[in-house]
Amino acid sequence: MEKAKVYFTREITPDSLIRIYHALGRELKGKVAVKISTGEPGGHNYLHPELIGDLVRQLDGTIVECCTAYGGQRQDPKLHWKAIEDHGFRAMAPCDIMDAFDEMELPVSDGFHLDKDIVGAHFANYDSVLVLSHFKGHAMGGFGGALKNISIGIASTQGKAYIHTAGKTTDAAKLWDNLPQQDHFLESMADACKAVIQYKGAENMLYINVANRLSVDCDCDSHPAEPEMADLGIFASLDPVAVDQACYDAVKNSTDPGKAALIERMDSRHGIHTVEVAEQHGLGNRAYEIISLD
């Protein structure tokens, strides 16, 4: 298989974000969803409107989210809307909590564990998707990038419970009593990614990972640890497997001595396994070439 192209710039600015989007050479058509994490109240590492606003407006995009499953303030749609407003996203662009009123099932073909993915019903309203992810650590997944943003991020509350439990339950209240083997959870994320990409069409999606504020904790954490390593830059690709692999490799290969904590978080959770099995699902290629825009 031909190596995937991953574009990269060390510069993390509104202009460089627009530049790397155009470098991908794929126009997002129709009604464009921009999938981000709007951030749990108390946290501050999410991608801020000041950084992403110009690109979102250029795409005439809608910020899309789904409610959480872990009992934070964003599990309730009313409190989630308040977080979106308090973090400045409603003033920046149209916003949509896709599962605020309903959800829908997407089939998983030949899944490792899941037979379906459950996503916000409003996901059907969009023609194309920019998966705009903050790359960082994650307490359960090891790290979060494009693949986590497609799977957990687009899943409804019930869908998140279903992924986290490898298909055991859709009841968020029972999530923590039904946690599976770690690799089964990671494989279930890949299953959900496959469902989303097949439903929307790979040609209608693209992926940008911003590797800044590299905390070991996710933006779903209301009190994330402070980053111990410096920002890396922006990575972008038409391939979600390649872009996550490139970010993982960039952390591992960094000369920054502060990388140890993030590497421990990623590898202690076997985070790269999601990338491995997403490749097995045919969602992309772990072999890539970096094309620098600097």
Residues in the chain: 294
* Spatial separation of the C-alpha atoms in residues 241 and 145, rounded to whole Å: 10
* Spatial separation of the C-alpha atoms in residues 149 and 168, rounded to whole Å: 21
The domain ranges of the chain are 4-292
Residue 133 phi/psi, 5° resolution? -115, 145
Instruction: Report pLDDT digits (tens) over 21-38.
Output: 999 999 999 999 999 999
pLDDT band (50, 70, 90) for residue 71? confident
* Spatial separation of the C-alpha atoms in residues 166 and 183, rounded to whole Å: 10
* Spatial separation of the C-alpha atoms in residues 179 and 163, rounded to whole Å: 10
119 has a pLDDT exceeding 90:
yes
209, 247 in Cβ contact below 8 A? Answer: yes
CATH number of the domain located at residue range(s) 4-292 in this protein: 3.40.50
**Residue 13: C-alpha distances to residues 130, 211, 285, 293 (Å):** 17, 12, 28, 13
Arithmetic mean of pLDDT over the chain: 97
216, 259 in Cβ contact below 8 A? Answer: no
Mean pLDDT of 9-19: 98
Instruction: Report pLDDT digits (tens) over 180-204.
Output: 999 999 999 999 999 999 999 999 9
220 has a pLDDT exceeding 80:
yes
Q: How much of the chain exceeds pLDDT 90, in percent?
A: 98
pTM: 0.98
